[in-house]
């Protein structure tokens, strides 16, 4: 799906370079969040001796209880996927 956004401004300053820089900055912030989230996921994996993929499969199948760590782990996985999707959307944007 392709989306378009139209931006207008009363300024005479060229907006395209500003918008491109803002997108790059936001992508960098998302990368930082992705790295931090991956660190937290790796800590859970090391502590519980299973990959996040295995954890998710077992958690969704009801094989694991509702321990607070498991709730947090599931939240971190969801947050990781959201950050990745947002970063990919920004990096795939083409500013005309």
CA dihedral 1, 81, 34, 96 (to 10 degrees): 10
Query: Does a structural domain hold residue 50?
Result: yes
Query: Does a structural domain hold residue 53?
Result: yes
**pTM of this prediction?**
0.86
Number of domains in the chain: 1
Distances (CA, A) of 37 to 19, 31, 52, 87, 93: 27, 10, 12, 14, 24
Domain extent, residue 68, equals: 41-96
Query: Does a structural domain hold residue 27?
Result: no
Mean pLDDT by 10 residues, the chain (96 residues): 88 92 95 98 98 97 95 98 96 88
pLDDT at 13: 93
pLDDT at 1: 78
């Amino acid at each position: 799906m392709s989306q378009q956004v139209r931006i207008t401004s009363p300024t005479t300053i060229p907006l395209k370079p500003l918008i491109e820089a803002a997108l790059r900055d936001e992508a960098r912030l998302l990368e930082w969040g992705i790295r931090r989230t991956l660190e937290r996921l790796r800590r859970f994996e090391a502590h519980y001796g299973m990959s996040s993929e295995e954890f998710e499969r077992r958690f969704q199948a009801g094989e694991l209880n509702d321990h607070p760590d498991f709730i947090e782990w599931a939240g971190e996985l969801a947050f990781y996927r959201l950050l990745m999707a947002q970063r990919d959307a920004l990096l795939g944007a083409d500013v005309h």
